[in-house]
Chain A
Amino acid sequence: MIVGSIAGIGAGLAAIGAGIGIGQIGGKAMEGMARQPEAASKIQTAMLIAAAFVEAVALFGVVVAFLGTGNVQ
C-alpha cells in the first residue's frame, strides 16, 4: 500500500512540473499570437509540439507510478 502512495506522490510532482511547463508554453504562445496574429498558425504548431514534449515527462511519471503499484499489464 505504501509503495502505491509514494508512487502517487511522484506522479503528482511530475504533474506539477509539467503543469508549470505547459503553462509557460501556452502563455508565451498566447503572447506571441497577440503580438503577431499573422504567425498564429505557426506558433500554434510549435506550441503543440513543445507541449507534447513536456507532457511526455508527466506521462512518464504516471507510467512509473503504475509500475510502482504493480497494476500495469
Chain B
Amino acid sequence: MDLSHIFNLKKTAVTLISAVFLSVISVNASAQQQAEADSISAAKVEHAPEGEKEESISQTILHHIADSHEWHFWGHDEHKVSLPLPVILWTNNGPVSFLYSKHDKDEHAKTVFTENGQNLVNFHGKFFYASAQPNAHGEYIEVDKANEVVNAKPLDLSITKNVVSLLISAAVLLIVFISVANAYKTRVGKAPKGLQSMLEPIILFVRDDIAKPQLGYRYAAFMPYLLTVFFFVWLNNLMGLVPFFPGGANVTGNIAVTMMLAVCTFVLTTVNGNKNYWGHVFKPHVPWWLYPLMIPVEIIGLFTKPIALMIRLFANITAGHILILSLISLIFILKSVFVAGVAVPFVIFISVIELVVGFIQAFIFTILSALFIGMAVEEHAEH
C-alpha cells in the first residue's frame, strides 16, 4: 500500500500553515510600523521640542499596550478610523452611558461636557469630574507634582477594548469547543475528523503532560478548569499578536485579567485543600518553638503562589509587546529609514519568538495551576 499521499497531505498542510503564519507576521510588522509612524508623527507635531521626543515615544508604546475605549484602526485626529465602544460610568447621579465617539474630540480635558447633570472631562481616554477652573494649560483638571490627576473620577464599568476582546475569544472558544464536544458525542468510537482531529492532540497533551503527572488519579475533576485556562490564555496570547481588528488588544498583558485567572486557581486550591495541605500550613513539621516563624511564612506562601502566577503572565506578555514596539521605534529614535532594514526583520524574528512564548506561558500557567492544585489534594505529604 502506498502511503505517500499522507506525506504529501502533511507537507501541504505544513506549507499552508507556515504561509499563513508568515503572512500574518509580516502584516503584523508592517501594520505596527504604520500605526507607529502615524502616532509618532502626530506626537511630534504636538511636542515640537527635541527634548520631549523620547518621552513621546515611550508614551506611544505605553498607549499601545494599554486598554482603551475605542478600537483604533488607522489615522489620527479628524482622519481617525476607529470602532467606538460604549462607555458606562457610575457617577454620583447614577449610571451614564454613551458611545466613546460622542466625546472623543478632545482628550486633553480642555472642554467640559455634561452628562446626567455631571461635568466631566476626557483626559487621555479616562473620564474625570471637571474642575471648576482650568489650570495653567487650560485643562479642567488638577495634577500633583508627580503628574498624577487628583480629580475624583466616576466608577468606570465600560465595555473597553480588552472586554470586547475577551468576549470575542470567549465566543470563539465556545463555538469551537461545543462543536468539538458534539463531534465526540456523535462519533463515538470513530476516528476524529476536522476540528476534532486538530484539537485532540492538544487536549491529550494537557491531559497527559500537564494534569496526570501533577494530579495523579484525581486529574479528571480538574480537567475542565485546566483545559479552559490553557486554551483561554493561549488564544488571548495569540490574538494579542495579531495587529488588526479581532486581535491587537493586550488582554493577557492586562494585570486585572491575569489576576482573575490567578484568583480562580487560588480559589480552587483553597476549596480543594485537604487535611494534609492545611496541616502543612498550621502545623508544619518543625519544632514547636519555630511555629511563630513558620506559620506566617506558610500563610504568606499561600498568597505568593497566585501572585507569582499573575505577575509572570502579565509581565511576559507585556514585555513582549514593549519589545516589539521598541524595536519599531528605533527607526524613529535614530531618524533613518535604513534602520528599518535591520529593525523590521528583527521584529519578525521577535514575533516568531512571541508565538512560542504565547504557547509556553499558557503551558506554564496551566502546569503551575495543576501543580498548586496537586499540592492541595495530595494524600501523603512525604517531606
Query: Does B360 reach chain A (CB closer than 8 Å)?
Result: yes
B window 126-151: CB within 8 A of A: 146
| Contact yes or no, A56 B367, CB < 8 A | no
Residues of B within 8 A of A45 (CB): 209, 213, 367
Tally of contact residues, A, Cβ under 8 A: 15
Q: Given A48-B364, A63-B315, are A71 and B308 neighbors across the interface (CB < 8 Å)? A: no
Contact for A63 among B311, B364, B367, CB less than 8 A: B311
B window 351-383: CB within 8 A of A: 360, 363-364, 367-368, 371
| Contact yes or no, A56 B319, CB < 8 A | no
| Contact yes or no, B368 A52, CB < 8 A | yes
Query: Does B66 reach chain A (CB closer than 8 Å)?
Result: yes
| Contact yes or no, A52 B315, CB < 8 A | no
| Contact yes or no, A49 B146, CB < 8 A | no
| Contact yes or no, B312 A49, CB < 8 A | no
Q: Is the interface of B mostly helix, strand, loop or mixed?
A: helix
| Contact yes or no, B315 A62, CB < 8 A | yes
Residues of B within 8 A of A36 (CB): none
A56–B316 alpha-carbon span in the complex (Å): 9
Residues of B within 8 A of A63 (CB): 311, 314-315
Q: Given A56-B311, A59-B312, are A71 and B62 neighbors across the interface (CB < 8 Å)? A: yes
Query: Does B15 reach chain A (CB closer than 8 Å)?
Result: no
Residues of A within 8 A of B67 (CB): 73
Q: Given A49-B364, A71-B58, are A55 and B312 neighbors across the interface (CB < 8 Å)? A: yes
